Structure formats: C-alpha cells, structure tokens
Amino acid sequence: MARYAIGDVQGCHDELLALLARVGFDATCDRLWFVGDLVNRGPKSLEVLRMARALGEAAVVVLGNHDLHLVAVAEGAARKRDDDTLDAILSAPDRDELLGWLRARPLMHVERDYAMVHAGLLPEWTVARARELAGEVERVLRGSSYRDFLANMYGSTPGAWSDGLEGWARLRVIVNAMTRIRFMNAGGHMELKNKGATPPPGFAAWYDARPLRDEPALVCGHWSTLGLKLDARVAMLDTGCVWGGALTAMRLEDRWLAQVPSQGYQPVGENA
C-alpha cells in the first residue's frame, strides 16, 4: 500500500485524474491524502468533491479555508466572493450529502510518521496537542451548533494563541492557524493578510518558528506562492495548480514526487 499526499486541488479535476494515472493509484490498496482546499477557484469543484467522497476510506481529506468557506456560504453564514466557483455545488441535487460529508472531514490527520493539516501549526503546539485542539473544532462542526460556529468563524482576531481562550475566539484561532497561517512573529502573533513567499518585517514562516521535536513530519498545502518545499520536518505541496502551476503528489513512504502541469484557471497574483 502506498500513501500519496496531494496538494491543493481547488477544482482542478482534470489534472487530478491525470496525476492519479501518473502515480498508478489503485483505490483497492493505496490511499490518497488531500491537504485541503478540494474546491473553489478552479472549474470543476463539484466533480472533485464527488470523486473524493466516492473514494471512501481510500481518501483522507482535511479541511482547508476554501472548503470551510463553501460550507459557510451554503449555510448563509458568508457571502460568495466574485472569484468563487462554487455555484455548481450549491445547485447540485446531491449538495446536502456532499456538504454534510465535507463538514465531517477532520481539521488534522495524524498517522504514524506524518501529520497533515492544511496551512500549518503554531510553534507552541506539539502535534499531539494540535490534534486535540483540532478535535474541539471538529466536534462543533459535526454537532447541532455548527451554524453558530460558521457565523463566528471569520476574522483575524485574536491574533495569537492562549490556553485561556474560550468560546468562538478559541475556535477561531485554531481554525486560522490550521487553515490560514503563513507568517508569525516572535510574540506568537499570526500575520494573515500577506500571501507572498517573503516574510514581512518582523515575521517568519510558521515552520521556521517551530522548535525541533521528535514528532511526525507535517504535510501541508495552502501556500502556492511559496511552492514546493521539502525538508525533514515539513512537506509543503501547494504548487499552484489553479494558477497555472502544477498539481503535486508525494508518496509518503519515500517522498517520491509526481506532478502534472495545469493550463491555469485564475490569473497569477495575490492568491489564497
């Protein structure tokens, strides 16, 4: 059995099919790890969502910021943005089943030598602690108060973690760290507006701020302007398929890489 981690798909269904053919994926024995952002900005988000759901236990999907945005829009907790490409899902006859399945996906997945989360983790969180905190969000998303959570999910404050945080503020920081983070400063504050590859003054990439620990390596996406980054502690796999880059798969057992090019569906610029 092989495990293939796949970068942000964002509705690039044709490229996903081509990538799975290239790696020789076999759903009867292999597993796909999707780093989040299955949907939005690309042309075939509905097809990607249906495919991931149909894979059943052959696919592990963690929630990204665009996935959460889709659920929030569907529930009336957020407005569609001008560059959203979610209409096909929102008008699909199976939308409720698809959205219910998506809402039940984890925020973080840990398995043996790897942990997967969409954007990143704060330095004070061990992988084990982060998995506990992800569970707090997951329980609310899967519970009866999920609409209240979605209505309070958006925003960039508080900007730093504290164990004493409670309520929506606590859950918002967890979601922002795991689905939006790129940079943070020495005081532990997240910078959530800058989407470039270079840290703004006084900030560093979140993974550079994490101390060395004997724990699973992290598999993430979210940061297309950074591109592919691999080291002993982190594998960043968002290579900007929707922006005309490539869709990337990494076999977790040996870090073998496969890519397929994209024709591009959005103009290159300040992407998210």
Q: Please state the pTM of the whole predicted model.
A: 0.96
- In this structure, how many other beta carbons lie within 10 angstroms of the beta carbon of residue 246? 18
Q: Give the model's pLDDT for residue 264.
A: 83
Question: Residue 227 pLDDT > 80, yes or no?
Answer: yes
User: Which of 212, 215, 209, 226 shows the shortest CA–CA distance to 271?
Assistant: 226
pLDDT band at 87 (very low <50, low <70, confident <90, very high): very high
pLDDT tens sequence across 184-200 = 999 999 999 999 999 99
134 touches 108 (CB < 8 A): yes
Q: Give the model's pLDDT for residue 269.
A: 57
Residues 6+ apart with CB under 8 A from 201: none
Integer Cα distance of 235 and 255 in angstroms: 9
pLDDT tens sequence across 25-79 = 999 999 999 999 999 999 999 999 999 999 999 999 999 999 999 999 999 999 9
Question: Residue 268 pLDDT > 70, yes or no?
Answer: no
Q: Position 261: which residue type?
A: P
Integer Cα distance of 150 and 131 in angstroms: 20
Q: Give the model's pLDDT for residue 199.
A: 94
Share of the chain above pLDDT 90, in %: 96
pLDDT band at 263 (very low <50, low <70, confident <90, very high): confident
Q: Angle CA(210)–CA(141)–CA(133) in degrees, nearest 5?
A: 25
What residue spans define the domains of the chain? 3-261
Question: Residue 270 pLDDT > 70, yes or no?
Answer: no
Mean pLDDT, range 195-211, rounded to an integer: 94
pLDDT tens sequence across 124-167 = 999 999 999 999 999 999 999 999 999 999 999 999 999 999 99
List of E strands, 79-164:
108-111, 114-117
Question: Residue 102 pLDDT > 90, yes or no?
Answer: yes
Which CATH number does 3-261 carry?
A: 3.60.21.10
Q: Give the model's pLDDT for residue 192.
A: 94
